[in-house]
Structure 1
Amino acid sequence: MRKLFIITLLFIGVAACKTNPFTGQRTLNFYPNSQVFPMAFAQYDQFLQENKVITGTKESHMITKVGQRISSAAERWLSANGYPGYLSDYKWEYNLVKDETVNAWCMPGGKIVFYTGILPITQTETGVAVVMGHEVAHALADHGAQRMSAGTLQQIGAVAGNVAIKDPEKRNMFNQAYGIGSQVGLMLPFSRSHETEADRIGLQIMAIAGYDPAEAAELWKRMKAQSGGQAPPEFLSTHPSNDTRINNLTVWAPEAKAEAEKFGVTKFQ
C-alpha cells in the first residue's frame, strides 16, 4: 500500500504539470480549466446573489473600465508571446461589492470582485489598476488550480503516512508534525510565491494597459499604513510582508515599463 501511494504521488507530480506562460516554468496543476471554471463561475454567481453589487456609479464604472484595460493588455501580451487563444475560455466580469473589507479578488476564469473597503487605499484609477493587475495575474497563472493541486498532494501525503505507520502513538506524532511541517514548510511558502509572482506579472500587465507601475509600491505603502504594522511574521503568513512587497515592486517597476515599451506604450497615467 505504501508503495502504491508513493507511485501515485510520483505519477501525479510528473504527469500533472502545466507551463506558466509568464515565467516559462512548469507548475503543478492537475485540475483543467474545464473542471475549475464551471465551479468558479457558479460560486461567483452565488456570491453576487448574496451580496450588494453596486452599479451605475462612478466607482463601479471605473472598476469595469480598469478591468477591461487590464484583461485586454493580458491578451495582447499572451498573443505576442506565443499563447493566442489562452483566454478563450475566460468570461470576464468586473463587479464592485459593498463591503468594508479591504480586499479584491479574481476567480479562475476572470470573475472579479472589488470591495468598496479597498477604494480608500487605491485612491485613484491607477491604484485600482495595481490591485486589478495583481488579482488578474493570479487567474492567468492558474494559482487557484495550483493551490488545489498542492492541497490534494498534502492530503495524499497525510493518508500515506497514516497507512504506513502502524503504531498509534507514532501515528499521532506524525500527524502533528506533518500538519505543522507541511503547512509552514510547504503550503505557506507556496502561497507566498504565488503572491510574489502575481505582483510581478500584474505590474507588467498594468504597464501594458497604460498605468504607471511605480504606483504599485506607493499603494503598498498606504496598505502598510492602514494595517498599522499589524502582521504575522512572514514565514507564518500566506503573503510576503509589506516591506518585501514594497522593495520588490520598486525594483520591478522599471522592468515593467520596459516591457510596456515593446507594445508601444511609453506614457503612463
Structure 2
Amino acid sequence: MRYKGIVLSIASTLMISACSSSPTGRNQVVLFSDTQMSSLGQQSFSETKNELPISKDTKINAYVQCVTNAILDYVPIQGSFSQWEVVVFDSPQVNAFALPGGKIGVYTGLLDVAVNQDQLATVIGHEIAHVLADHSNERMSHAHIANTGLQISNIALASQDYRNEIMALMGVGVQYGVLLPYGRTQESEADVVGLELMAKAGFDPYQSVELWKNMAKASGGSHTPELLSTHPSHDTRINELTDKARRLPAFSGTKPNCAKPV
C-alpha cells in the first residue's frame, strides 16, 4: 500500500509539473520536451520513408506541396525545428499524418476521396493541428504515466522492442497494424484548429463537411478508409464542422489555386 501511495504521489507531481494548455485552452499533461518529440518524429518519418514507396509523380507532389504551403504560411514558427517536410507516399491507403519535427505524410489514396484542394486542405490542416496541439506528446505522456511498459523517456526509436508502439502513439503506423487512434477530445480539437488554419489560408471550410461525406461513401459499407477509421465521421462531427465554418471570419485575400492532377 505504501508503494502504491508513492507511485500515485510521483504521478501526481509529474502531472502537476507538466501541465500545459492546448491551442483551444484545454488543460494537457505533456511530459516530454519539444526536442525529444521532434527527434522521435524525425526518426519515425525516416523509418516510414524507408519502408513505403515514395511517389515520383511530379504533378501530384506539386499539388500536395501547394496545398500544404498555403496552410503553413499561417502556422506559427516552431522552436524545435526550422522547416516542414512533405512526402507523398505511393499507397492506396486513404490517409495522411503529421509528426512532431515538422514531418507530413500524404498517401496517394487520399486524393481519390479528397476530390479538390479544399478537401485536401481539410485533412492536412487537421493533421498539422495534431502537431500544434502536442497530441502525440499528450498521448505518449498518458501511456508513460499509466506504466504500459513503454520506457519512452530513455528509449531510442531504433529499438525493435518498442518502435512500432511509439510510432503508433505518435499517429503513424497503419502499415504495421498497430495505429492507436487519437481520442475524441483530440480529434475535435484538431477539427477546430485545422479548420481555422485552412480557412485562414483561403480554402473553403464548408468543404470539410463534403470531405467526411465522401469518406463515408468510400467505405461502401464493407471497408472503412484508414483515415475514417481513426477520425470518426459521425453526424455530430459534421454538425460541429458546419457550425464552426459559419462562425469563421470571411476570407478577403487571394484564394489558393492548387490544380489537382487529372
Q: Give the TM-score normalised by the residue count of structure 1.
A: 0.74
Q: Paired residue for 1:98, among 66, 90, 93? A: 90
1:203 CA drift (Å): 0.3
Aligned to 1:215: 207
Aligned to 2:124: 132
Corresponding position: 1:197 with 2:189: yes
Aligned to 1:117: 109
1:126 CA drift (Å): 1.4
1:88 CA drift (Å): 5.5
- Kept in 2, the 8 Å contact 1:126–1:212? The answer is yes
- Kept in 2, the 8 Å contact 1:119–1:128? The answer is yes
Residues 187-226 of structure 1: per-residue CA shift (max 9 Å, x gap): x997111111101100000001110101000000000111
Say which is worse superposed, 55-64 or 215-224, in terms of deviation. Answer: 55-64
**In structure 2, C-alpha distance between the alignment counterparts of 1:74 and 1:106, rounded to whole Å:** 13
Aligned to 2:70: 69
Distance 1:199 1:230, change over 3 A: farther
**In structure 2, C-alpha distance between the alignment counterparts of 1:238 and 1:192, rounded to whole Å:** 10
Aligned AA (2:5): K
Corresponding position: 1:141 with 2:133: yes
**In structure 2, C-alpha distance between the alignment counterparts of 1:231 and 1:145, rounded to whole Å:** 30
Q: Paired residue for 1:227, among 219, 229, 235? A: 219
1:112 CA drift (Å): 0.5
- Kept in 1, the 8 Å contact 2:135–2:186? The answer is yes
| Structure 2 gap ranges (5+) | 150-179, 258-262
Counterpart mapping for 1:43-62 below 5 A? 43-62=44-63
- Kept in 2, the 8 Å contact 1:208–1:265? The answer is no
Residues 124-158 of structure 1: per-residue CA shift (max 9 Å, x gap): 1111101100000001101000000111122279x
- Kept in 2, the 8 Å contact 1:191–1:238? The answer is no
Counterpart mapping for 1:143-222 below 5 A? 143-155=135-147, 191-222=183-214
Distance 1:189 1:97, change over 3 A: closer
RMSD: 2.6
Aligned AA (2:55): I
Aligned to 1:15: 17
User: Match of 2:92, SS?
Assistant: coil
Aligned to 1:5: 7
1:46 CA drift (Å): 2.1
Aligned AA (2:113): I
**In structure 2, C-alpha distance between the alignment counterparts of 1:103 and 1:190, rounded to whole Å:** 14
Flag the structure with more relative contact order, 1 or 2, with Cα contacts below 8 A and sequence separation at least 6: 2
User: Match of 2:113, SS?
Assistant: helix
| Structure 1 gap ranges (5+) | 76-84, 158-187
**In structure 2, C-alpha distance between the alignment counterparts of 1:4 and 1:28, rounded to whole Å:** 19
User: Match of 1:100, SS?
Assistant: coil
User: Match of 1:122, SS?
Assistant: coil
